[in-house]
Amino acid sequence: MQKHNRTLKEDFRIIKRAVKLIQSNTPHFLLHTYLYSFFNTAVYVMSNYITASIVDELTGAKDIKKIIFLLSMYAAEIILKIFQDYSWRKVRTFNIIANKWEEVLLNSKSFSMDYPNMENPSVRAKRQLIEDSRGTGGLGMLMEHFIPLFTGINKLVLCSLVSLELFFRHSDKALSGFEKFIDTPLFTVAFFVFVALCAVGEYKTTSKYNRLAVEKVKDISLTERLLHYFLDDYIDDSKAQKDIHIFNQKGLIRHLSDKIYHKWLKGNKELLALQRKRNNRYNMFYVLTTSATYLFVAMKTYIGAFGLGGFIKYQFCVARIVEAAESFSGAVTALRTNNDYLEIFFDYLDTPTEMHYGTIPTEKRMDNKYDIEFHNVSFRYPESDSYALKNVNLKFAVGDSIAVVGMNGSGKTTMIKLLCRLYDPTEGYITLNGIDIQKYDYEDYLDLFSVVFQDFRLFSFSVGENVSAQVDFDEEKVWSSLEKAGMLERVKAMPKELRTPVYKDFEEDGVEISGGEAQKLAISRALYKDAAFVILDEPTASLDPIAENEIYSRFHEMVKDKTAVYISHRLSSCRFCDRILVFHEGRLIQDGSHKKLLEDTQGKYYELWNAQAQYYAEN
């Protein structure tokens, strides 16, 4: 993560927003965090106070009743400890909840995000950065950093209150010249000014070193991630083993990981050096203030301003005030560092919704008469300078079977993404039965499409859940979809049939399936949805020739009266379609039947067809 250059005000705004967010889920988190640090501080201030009072009594009036009363006060300490323990459990629980809540917020944002943003490289990079930096910050960590902050405040307030007495404690004895000065408020003020200066000095130096240490930790965590990538992700990845062996990558991996390891070690040594320097400075201020406090309190005791108990009490309290500065500086540094994470976190949550989601419900038609038309559509991907589609005019007629062909990068998949409203055109518009598709209710519109994308994903859930995308599925319909896609026998042979988990990620009795079988399951899923448009984007890439032939020969029967669109590189499979669309460099350059397109011997289709025909002939 980059080093922040936010102002204090901006940091405060981020913290305020994060606190509000946590409180919307766990309303009492701040209260309990405060109470926990209050009880924590109160326990030892009280304990010291009682000890000091008993010492005063033992060295003074020796009133036994008072001594017994003071001893019984230790019982009150137990009550404070019970409260402290209760608040601690609350704080821990809130903390665990906050960590999960953070994930929930991120995921629900991802779920509700416009599709273009989910593919947008900078939005994806932000999410990746958040995932990579989870250990360095977060809502849970923000809560943790409030503990030293409140502890610092509480120490300062409670101990200052006790120390205030110092201004009013005077000796009853007849004092000589310098002794008189010790007894004056001026002496006490001078002492407190000295302590305050030490506390400020300590705050400044520890803040500086804390900040440097945090930057160092970030550098180290980057090298740690790289080490983790080589030693865990890559070497452990079973898919990488073939490459490691065939290309003999061992030497390269060893060289790179050794280099990173040395960088990591160097970083750690530098971190230790920084911490040592910080501790040395802290110790210097601590010794300075502690000796000054001892001296001050000893002198006051000597002139008879208070007894031995006062000596114990005030020395303790002044030392805690100095400690408070360190607590405070640590907490402020930690909170500001945590903001590096929260800033990206909020930035991600603030990703705007720009798509128009529409309200008109789509007509539910038994005859599937959904006419979709592209009107002079051009499209550029976000953050891209060039057009992926240019001036496309196109009409899909009901029941057509359409093949889309063209070279890699010619815009075929992009056209499908626009058709399914994963993206909206940059220029031009698309209509469904004459109405701009942006006016239709988004989910209603998506219901019209079933797509098997090249890079589809299956869940590590059961076959039935995968095919139906539902928990309670229609078994008969699942079987029928599997049969159409040629997967029936394979699933029948699985140990729990439709209930068999796909993959072994979570269940021992899961089944590993081949790429071709996964594709057949994806096709079954597309058929189960029973949408008006069935689109197969290079669906046969992982299928063997027999399976491919099976799918194509049955495809028309599979989709019946629906509009079928499929993208394929194998032109031999496309020629049976009613209509072939040829894309080239983002433009729709030819549109017609196989026969008609071949007649144009100067056309792209003729060129593509002959290139493949030649390939098949030679092989």
- Which residues of the shown chain bind ligand ADP in the complex (CB under 6 A)? 119, 381, 384, 388, 406, 408-414
Q: Return the number of the residue (115 or 234) whose C-beta is nearest ligand ADP.
A: 115
Residues 94, 32 contacting (CB under 8 angstroms):
yes
**Minimum gap (Å) between residue 127 Cβ and ligand ADP:** 15
What distances in angstroms separate CA 9 from CA 16, 422, 522, one per listed residue?
10, 40, 52
CB 388 → ligand ADP: shortest distance, Å?
Answer: 3
Nearest to 68 by CA among 49, 81, 54: 54
Contact 52, 312 (CB under 8 A): yes
State the Cα–Cα distance between residues 21 and 109, nearest whole angstrom: 14
Written as one string, the DSSP assignment of 562-599 is SEEEEE-S-HHHHTTSSEEEEEETTEEEEEE-HHHHHH
- Nearest-angstrom CA–CA distance, 544 and 486: 12
Q: Which is nearer to ligand ADP, 115 or 194 (CB)?
A: 115
CB of 395 to ligand ADP, least distance (A): 20
Of 192 and 381, nearer to ligand ADP (C-beta) is: 381
Nearer to ligand ADP, 198 or 388 (CB): 388
Half-sphere exposure of 243 (CA within 13 A, CB side): 9
Instruction: Output 135 or 409, the one with its CB closest to ligand ADP.
Output: 409
Nearest approach, Cβ of 427 to ligand ADP (angstroms)?
16
Say how far apart CA 590 and CA 612 lie, in whole Å.
18
> Which is closer to ligand ADP, CB of 13 or CB of 587?
587
Beta sheet of 533-537, edge-to-edge order: 449-452, 533-537, 563-567, 401-406, 579-584, 587-592
With 0-12 / 13-18 / 19 or more C-beta atoms within 10 angstroms meaning exposed / middle / buried, residue 577 is buried
Q: Are 526 and 451 in contact (CB under 8 A)?
A: yes
Q: How far is the CB of 569 from ligand ADP (least distance, A)?
A: 9
Query: Cβ closer to ligand ADP: 358 or 586?
Result: 586
Distances (CA, A) of 79 to 73, 86, 220, 589: 10, 11, 44, 83
Q: Helix H segments across 113-176?
A: 115-119, 121-132, 139-164
Kindly tell me which of 162 and 422 has the beta carbon lying closer to ligand ADP. Answer: 422
Query: What span, in angstroms and rounded, lies between the C-alpha atoms of 475 and 498?
Result: 8
Least gap, CB of 351 to ligand ADP (angstroms):
16
Instruction: Give a three-class secondary structure readout of 367-421.
Output: CCCCCEEEEEEEEECCCCCCEEEEEEEEEECCCCEEEEEECCCCCHHHHHHHHCC
Distance in Å, CB of 609 to ligand ADP, minimum: 17
Which C-beta is closer to ligand ADP: that of 120 or that of 480? 120
Smallest gap from residue 420 Cβ to ligand ADP (A): 13
Residue type, 273: A
Paired tokens of 57 = 């009594």
Looking at beta carbons only, is 133 or 413 nearer to ligand ADP? 413
Shortest gap between Cβ of 113 and ligand ADP (angstroms)?
A: 14
Amino acid at 426: T
Least CB distance to ligand ADP at residue 410 (A): 4
Q: Sign of the CA dihedral 353, 356, 360, 365?
A: negative
Question: Torsion over CA of 184, 187, 190 and 191, rounded to 10 degrees?
Answer: -120
CB atoms within 10 A of CB 537: 20
337 vs 414, which CB is nearer to ligand ADP?
414
| Nearer Cβ to ligand ADP (112/408) | 408
Cβ contacts of 187-194, under 8 Å, gap ≥ 24:
191/292, 191/296, 194/289, 194/292
Shortest gap between Cβ of 386 and ligand ADP (angstroms)? 7
The bridge status of strand 401-406 relative to strand 427-432 is unpaired
Residue 252: CB minimum distance to ligand ADP, A: 30
Beta carbon nearer to ligand ADP, 335 or 372: 372
Cβ neighbours, 10 Å, residue 24 = 9
Q: How far is the CB of 116 from ligand ADP (least distance, A)?
A: 8
Q: What's the order of all strands across the beta sheet hosting 435-436?
A: 387-396, 372-380, 427-432, 435-436
| Residue 541 per-residue DSSP state | T
The least distance separating ligand ADP from the CB of residue 387, rounded to whole angstroms, comes to 9
Q: Tell me the closest approach of the beta carbon of residue 215 to ligand ADP, in angstroms.
A: 34
Instruction: Give whichever of 321 and 526 is closer to ligand ADP, judged by the CB atom.
Output: 526
In terms of CB distance, is 214 or 588 closer to ligand ADP? 588
